[in-house]
């Protein structure tokens, strides 16, 4: 459990939860999900002392759950926001190794080697999320993160650098958050930006899969990769819609919040509320961009599948047209040979020494004539591959 005290545009780490919140700042307690459960009594005492109310049991369960979707809820004392951030590549690989180990154990026993990773485009495998929970009081913020979460550590390092810069360089703009809600919105915005950063990799991976599907003989694993990509894009859309709902509810609450809740002069309180509302709208705009891109990629994947089926149907039509033309060429020849194969004593050319060569010439002329007609009418064409 880590405790950070923000005071007058600066911050400092403290070893224990202070007895009271600073008059010109707030206290941030961030801890991973395991420590949250272990230190729950201490956290509840801190929320009661600094926030004025303990966390409800249902909210404690939500914050302790790793599978909880993005969600917003509020009480008369605090707000609760759960936001699912993008999993890092290391987290995805660790989960995949665990899945492979479990599958290998059930299939072959404890001593079996681990199964290989599924052959799917890596960017789509990265569309996985982790729940980060926030309990937002007036002077206190409780954030619950997955183990090894980069979000909290990144912001602490950034705020330390900003605070040091503002001290060393007077007049520099101080970017330390003004309150718990401001800090949460900044972290949420960074989480959403990680989805935006993934857009280019997703687009390149999908284009490579489309190119492979349009080949005459695509790799056997391309279909499974494309199906996996479609499933992950659909999951990304559901995730963005949940995030939008949670942020919209919180935005409505921020707009309706009275100025007295900011514990400042009316003008300063109005400026703080406008700043929070603007940040919340910016987060929602970023989520909407991610959702729009996910829908466009899913449409591209669906289009690639349809183009693949059309290309396969075109190749099948070419083959059937060629086979039909060959059949049409040999059908008159079979009729010709069948006629001269009848068991009648008197047939033309059968007793002549030149009969075989004459029949052969007639067959060649007939086949050549039919072939020329088909080629002229483009029944037989050379397809570029």
pLDDT of 54 reads 92
Element (H, E) at 289: helix 266-340
Select the more confidently predicted residue: 98 or 212.
212
Task: Work out the number of other CB atoms within 10 angstroms of the CB of residue 82.
Answer: 22
The confidence band for 121, taking pLDDT boundaries of 50, 70 and 90, is low
129's tokens: 């999320």
pLDDT greater than 60 at residue 119: no
The confidence band for 108, taking pLDDT boundaries of 50, 70 and 90, is low
Task: Work out the number of other CB atoms within 10 angstroms of the CB of residue 215.
Answer: 12
Q: Which tens digits make up the pLDDT trace of 149-207? A: 777 777 777 777 665 544 455 444 456 788 899 899 988 988 888 888 888 888 887 78
Q: Which tens digits make up the pLDDT trace of 260-308? A: 776 667 787 788 888 889 989 999 999 999 889 888 888 887 777 777 7
pLDDT greater than 60 at residue 100: no
Domain boundaries, the chain: 1-86+126-173, 88-122
Q: Which tens digits make up the pLDDT trace of 372-381? A: 887 777 766 6
Query: What integer best gives the mean pLDDT of the chain?
Result: 79
The least confident of 80-84, 160-164, 195-199, 216-220 is 160-164
Task: Work out the number of other CB atoms within 10 angstroms of the CB of residue 287.
Answer: 26
| Whether pTM exceeds 0.75 | no
CATH topology of domain 1-86+126-173: Beta Polymerase; domain 2 (3.30.460)
Closest Cα to residue 11, out of 236, 175, 244?
175
CA distances, 347 to each of 318, 332, 342, 356 (Å)? 41, 18, 9, 13
Bin 68: left if φ > 0, else alpha if -120 < ψ < 50, else beta.
Answer: beta
């Amino acid at each position: 459990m880590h405790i950070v005290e923000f005071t007058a545009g600066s911050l400092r780490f403290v070893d224990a939860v202070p007895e009271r919140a600073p008059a010109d700042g707030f206290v941030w307690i961030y801890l991973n999900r395991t420590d949250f459960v272990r230190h729950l009594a201490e956290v509840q005492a801190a929320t009661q002392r600094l926030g004025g109310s303990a966390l409800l049991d249902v909210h404690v369960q939500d914050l302790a759950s790793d599978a909880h979707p993005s969600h917003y809820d509020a009480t008369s004392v605090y707000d609760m926001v759960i936001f699912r951030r993008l999993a890092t590549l290391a987290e995805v690989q660790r989960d995949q190794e665990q899945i492979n180990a479990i599958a290998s154990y059930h299939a072959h026993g404890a001593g079996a080697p681990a199964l290989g990773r599924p052959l799917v485009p890596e960017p789509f495998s990265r569309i996985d999320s982790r729940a980060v929970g926030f309990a937002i009081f007036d002077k206190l913020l409780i954030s619950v993160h997955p183990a090894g979460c980069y979000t909290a550590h990144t912001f602490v390092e950034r705020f330390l650098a900003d605070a040091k810069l503002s001290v060393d360089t007077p007049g520099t703009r101080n970017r330390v958050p003004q309150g718990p809600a401001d800090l949460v919105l900044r972290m949420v915005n960074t989480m959403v930006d990680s989805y935006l950063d993934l857009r280019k990799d997703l687009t390149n991976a999908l284009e490579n899969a489309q190119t492979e599907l349009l080949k005459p003989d695509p790799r056997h694993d391309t279909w499974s990769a494309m199906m996996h990509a479609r499933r992950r894009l659909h999951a990304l859309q559901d995730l963005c819609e949940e995030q939008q709902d949670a942020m919209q509810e919180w935005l409505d609450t921020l707009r309706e919040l009275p100025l007295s809740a900011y514990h400042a002069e009316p003008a300063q309180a109005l400026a703080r509320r406008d700043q929070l509302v603007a940040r919340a709208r910016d987060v929602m705009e970023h989520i909407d961009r991610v959702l729009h891109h996910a829908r466009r990629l899913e449409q591209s994947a669906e289009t690639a599948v349809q183009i693949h089926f059309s290309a396969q149907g075109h190749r099948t039509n070419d083959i059937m047209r060629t086979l039909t033309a060959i059949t049409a060429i040999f059908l008159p020849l079979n009729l010709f040979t069948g006629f001269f194969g009848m068991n009648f004593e008197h047939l033309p050319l059968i007793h002549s020494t030149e009969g075989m060569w004459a029949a052969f010439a007639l067959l060649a002329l007939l086949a050549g004539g039919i072939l020329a007609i088909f080629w002229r009418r483009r029944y037989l064409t050379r397809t570029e591959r």
